[in-house]
Amino acid sequence: MDPKLDRKAIVEFIRRMPKAELHLHMEGAVQPRTWLKLADRNGIRLPADTPEELNEVFRFRDFDHFIELYTLCCTCLVNVDDFRLATYELLEDLAAQNVRYAEIFLSPTLHLARGVKWETIMAGVSAARREGERDFGIQTAFIPDISRELGPEMGLTVARHVAKSAEYGVIGLGIGGPEVGFPPDDYWEAFDLIGEAGMHRVAHAGETLGPDSIWGALKALNATRIGHGVRCLEDEALVAHLRENQIALEVCPTSNVCTGVSKDWPSHPLKQLLEAGLLVTLNSDDPGMFTTTLTNEFLRAQETFDLSLDEITDLALNALRASFLSTAGKREWIAKFEAEFEKLRGELVPV
């Protein structure tokens, strides 16, 4: 750590610094208090009556258990205002952490599968997007995600909707859900369609499965960013490919610990990924379910791996570098963030 800095100053710096986030699921970011509110107004029974109890329920045995509870909570989202409220409250939470820009995943497959219309989802989330910008100055874009467990046919349905949804702030297509048993190659058609529509392609890969899953996301789906990707370290050629092409990894340490991908924070490969020269971004994934925040991810990362202030700010800027903003937009945001970092250093770092 920078010898000039004490822990208190660095904590203050992290709390106040501007941030961007690229790997955040709308449904996974909803706080327990909001889930209970939505369950109540739709007459849905969740296995808890208070936010504290729901936090206890969110102690996941493994990745499948997490998907099971995620899917159950999603049933609380029924009408336009449910989607609006859930998204609005999460934007409020992000703004409170000084997150200024976010690319947010949606899980429409799970909603479509239970009969919710695409337009219902989009009307709600896009209304919240406008309100978030108006009320908190936060800019957002959406990346609907295919839940792989629902199969390639449903994936194609989502892709067709996505290709026509730019007006709602949709910029691309993602794929998530359990990697085991659902290889990326089966979803090539959906991702081809998105490429033809000129939109972005991202994929969760290398989280519960190893390098083959990441290679599949790159080759079959033409993904330009990888969700998690932490297991790339098992394949040197893959690490070299990711480094040379500066394909970003959306790394989410607390999520990996909660789903059992990593044993704990100290054994998480974040530091190795950075040392390998990869374009690493830090993210909260499902903060409502993993009881974390983006600020907390930075605080834990700094503390666990003894990151310097320069390493912290570089990690924060990586989110802008790896974002789907235009080249001019990235330049503008980066300059703005750098100026704020400088100002904060002046206030917090004794000379």
* Residue 164: strand, helix, or coil: coil
In the complex with Zn ion, which residue's Cβ is closer, 82 or 285? 285
Cβ nearer to Zn ion, comparing 27 with 285: 285
Q: Distance (Å, rounded) from C-alpha 213 to C-alpha 227?
A: 11
Minimum CB–partner distance for residue 229 and Zn ion (Å): 11
Question: Under rule CB under 5 A, which residues in 89-148 are in contact with Zn ion?
Answer: none
Q: Which of 21, 27, 179, 207 is catalytic?
A: 207
Reported as half-sphere exposure (CB side, CA atoms, 13 A), residue 116 has a value of 24
Q: Angle 42-47-51 (CA atoms, 0-180°, nearest 5)? A: 80
Please choose, out of 11-19, 194-202, 213-221, 280-288, the segment that lies near Zn ion by the rule CB under 5 A.
Answer: 280-288
Q: Which residues contact 132 (CB under 8 A, 6 or more apart)?
A: 87, 88, 91, 92, 95, 138, 140
Q: Which is nearer to Zn ion, 21 or 285 (CB)?
A: 285
Residue nearest to Zn ion (CB): 285
For residues 150 and 113, what is the distance between their CA atoms, to the nearest angstrom? 8
| Minimum distance, C-beta of residue 25 to Zn ion, in the bound complex (Å) | 6
- Which residue's CB is nearer to Zn ion, number 82 or number 286? 286
CA 127 to chain centre: 20
Residue 207 bears catalytic tag: yes
Pick 32 or 287: Cβ nearer Zn ion: 287
The nearest distance, CB 254 to Zn ion, in angstroms, is 12
Q: Which two tokens stand for residue 273?
A: 């990924």
Looking from the CA of 77 toward its CB, the CA atoms found within 13 Å total 34
Q: Tell me the three state secondary structure of residue 207.
A: coil
Site size for Zn ion (CB under 5 A): 1
Contact present, 2 and 309 (Cβ < 8 Å):
yes
Among 89, 93, 285, 297, the residue binding Zn ion under the rule CB under 5 A is 285
- Please list the residues that pair with 175 across neighbouring strands: 146
Pairing of strands 248-251, 225-228: parallel
Q: How far is the CB of 23 from Zn ion (least distance, A)?
A: 6
Least separation in angstroms between CB 149 and Zn ion: 14
Q: Is 181 helix (H, G, I), strand (E, B) or coil?
A: coil
82 binds Zn ion (CB under 5 A): no
Active site residues per annotation: 207
Interface residues toward Zn ion, by CB under 5 A: 285
